[in-house]
């Protein structure tokens, strides 16, 4: 494995960042998770665009332009000879003083890791998973906009821990008003009367790249999609449900808080979208 750090490549054992890096000390940084399918980087331009938008929102000046960043990602994938894998692209505020003051960080750091990923066991993609709703609420958008994909994921981690304690792999996070935001690392969709419904980003959901891909695929299949407000009641009474994410892709949900969805099996619309997504990543 070769890891890119600020223009140089290091082996896994030698790849290091400073303990004074504000990404490590305060979660002051951003990231993107990107997939490689059959030697091609999936939706690279969309991920790079979102990275730079997150950086702009945080007044974080990335020390290379977007074209150079794309080349660095592609070169790192090629160097690691990954036909199928996962890219973690990270930009931190950089090394600074032991204080929150961002101006003490003189230069942001860029890190690119290319490796493998499997978020859920393969069997769950065929039979679906059970999830819960978490008691941890989404940080309100007026405190931290969910469109910023920052390194601070403690809110999500607390919900993930709760899911694990309940014997589940994933949890739904509600916003402070009780509306569904997203899961700990994935977006969530439900199927109702053959149409797709998913939480609007203003409820605290990341506008995921895979989420948008699924919406586009649904349109080509003649499936109407609506970004809207959802509550737990809507989840419990869904005809089908599934989650989407770069790592997770599309995974069926067959039980929510003990309520069985779609007869406890992946639904027809869900399976149709999975098939369409798999076909799309082959191109």
Active site residues: 149
Taking CA atoms, 263 is separated from 127, 128, 255, 260, 269, in Å, by 11, 11, 9, 6, 14
- Phi/psi of residue 240, nearest 5 degrees: -150, 165
DSSP 14-81: T----TTBHHHHH--EEEEEEEEETTEETTHHHHHHHHHHHHHHTT---SS-HHHHHHHHHHHHHHHT
Q: What are the helix (H) ranges across 58-203? A: 66-80, 123-127, 154-165
Least Cα distance to 201 among 180, 171, 172, 232 occurs for 180
Q: What are the helix (H) ranges across 99-197? A: 123-127, 154-165
| Residue 65 to residue 48: CA distance in whole angstroms | 10
DSSP 112: E
To 10 degrees, what angle do helices 44-57 and 66-80 make?
Answer: 130
| Residue 150 to residue 58: CA distance in whole angstroms | 9
CB atoms within 10 A of CB 122: 7
Least Cα distance to 31 among 60, 2, 10, 7 occurs for 60
């Amino acid at each position: 494995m070769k890891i890119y750090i600020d223009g140089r490549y290091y082996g896994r054992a030698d790849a290091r960042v400073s303990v004074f890096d504000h990404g490590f000390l305060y979660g002051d940084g951003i990231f993107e998770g990107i997939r490689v399918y059959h030697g091609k980087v999936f939706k690279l331009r969309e991920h790079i665009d979102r990275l730079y938008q997150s950086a702009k929102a945080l007044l974080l000046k990335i020390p290379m332009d977007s074209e150079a960043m794309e080349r660095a990602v592609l070169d790192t994938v090629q160097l690691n000879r990954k036909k199928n894998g996962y890219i973690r692209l990270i930009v931190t505020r950089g090394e600074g003083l032991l204080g929150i003051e961002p101006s003490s960080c003189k230069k942001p750091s860029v890190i690119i890791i290319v490796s493998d990923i499997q978020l859920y066991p393969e069997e769950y993609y065929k039979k679906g998973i059970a999830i819960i709703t978490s008691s941890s609420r989404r940080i309100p958008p007026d405190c931290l906009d969910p469109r910023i994909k920052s390194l601070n994921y403690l809110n999500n981690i607390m919900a993930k821990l709760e899911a694990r304690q309940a014997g589940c792999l994933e949890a739904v996070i509600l916003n402070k008003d009780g509306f569904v935001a997203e899961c700990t690392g994935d977006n969530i969709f439900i199927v109702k009367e053959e149409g797709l419904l998913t939480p609007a980003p203003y409820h605290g959901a990341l506008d995921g790249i895979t989420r948008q891909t699924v919406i586009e695929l649904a349109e080509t299949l003649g499936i109407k999609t609506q970004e809207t407000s959802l509550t737990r009641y809507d989840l419990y009474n869904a005809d089908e449900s599934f989650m989407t994410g770069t790592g997770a892709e599309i995974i069926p949900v067959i039980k929510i808080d003990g309520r069985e969805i779609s007869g406890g099996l992946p639904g027809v619309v869900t399976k149709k979208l999975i098939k369409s997504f798999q076909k799309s990543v082959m191109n």
